[in-house]
Amino acid sequence: MVHALFNQIAPKYDLLNRLLSFGQDQLWRKKVASLLPESSNLHILDVATGTADLAIQFFSQNHPAAQVIGIDMAEQMLRFGQSKIERLGLSEQIHLEPGDAQNLRFEDHTFDVVTSAFGLRNMPNREQALAEMMRVLKPNGRLIVLEFSLPPNALIRLFYLFYFRHILPYMGGLISGDYQAYRYLNRSVEEFSEKVFHKMRRIPLCFGVATIYVTDKLAS
């Protein structure tokens, strides 16, 4: 299962994320944080939180009163995320717990914002996961998803795919000791269909290497 794969690479996940994104993933998370609604008391759910990089980023960008719950199926990833949260003194603001995006435990209309970074493409039923995220959003709440994507420019895509197919698996395997994990990651990006986001606003990043998808839940 995919979460078992992420449990295996958890100790090196943050470093390898830098490799996967050409060192841009932290800037992309800052962009996600900049899209949060302006409010002094946001209740945020971060789905597939991993090692909590995105959840932590929210507290670097003037949201000191926010409360974040981060969920993930990979408990080793959560363990590394929890150690970062404690080191930064954010234990009161960020709570991590195991959870399945396709079957969220929360009541309808619970959160002001739901976010997910680099997680949706790994879910077997992406439509169900998105439906669950929308269900737990309050009316007028905001869903923000950050994912890798294929650049539309043919030349950029050529170099991008060469990196993903040949360089990334070697570098990732060398650092993590798990070559299969990084072969999976490159396939997951190539095979991921943007059709699941057809009703969401798109914000391309770095010539389309990644994309932020945003939608607001209409008040009933």
- For each of the chain's 220 residues, which pLDDT tens digit applies? 677 777 777 777 787 777 767 789 999 999 999 999 988 789 999 999 999 999 999 998 666 668 999 999 999 999 999 999 999 999 999 999 999 999 999 999 999 999 999 988 888 899 999 999 999 999 999 999 999 888 999 999 999 888 878 887 777 777 667 666 666 666 777 676 676 777 799 999 999 989 999 999 988 6
Crossing angle for the helix pair 168-176 and 2-9, nearest 10 degrees?
A: 60
Taken in order 82, 132, 212, 197, the sign of the CA dihedral is positive
Domain boundaries defined on the chain: 2-149+192-216
- Given this model, what pLDDT does residue 34 score? 93
- Given this model, what pLDDT does residue 178 score? 65
- Given this model, what pLDDT does residue 22 score? 73
- Given this model, what pLDDT does residue 147 score? 92
What φ, ψ does residue 49 adopt, rounded to 5°? Answer: -70, -20
Please state whether the predicted TM-score (pTM) of the whole model is above 0.95: no
- Tens of pLDDT, residue by residue over 146-198, are 998 889 999 999 998 888 788 877 777 776 676 666 666 667 776 766 767 77
- Given this model, what pLDDT does residue 183 score? 67
- Given this model, what pLDDT does residue 176 score? 65
- Given this model, what pLDDT does residue 33 score? 93
Just give the CATH number of 2-149+192-216. Answer: 3.40.50.150
- Given this model, what pLDDT does residue 65 score? 65
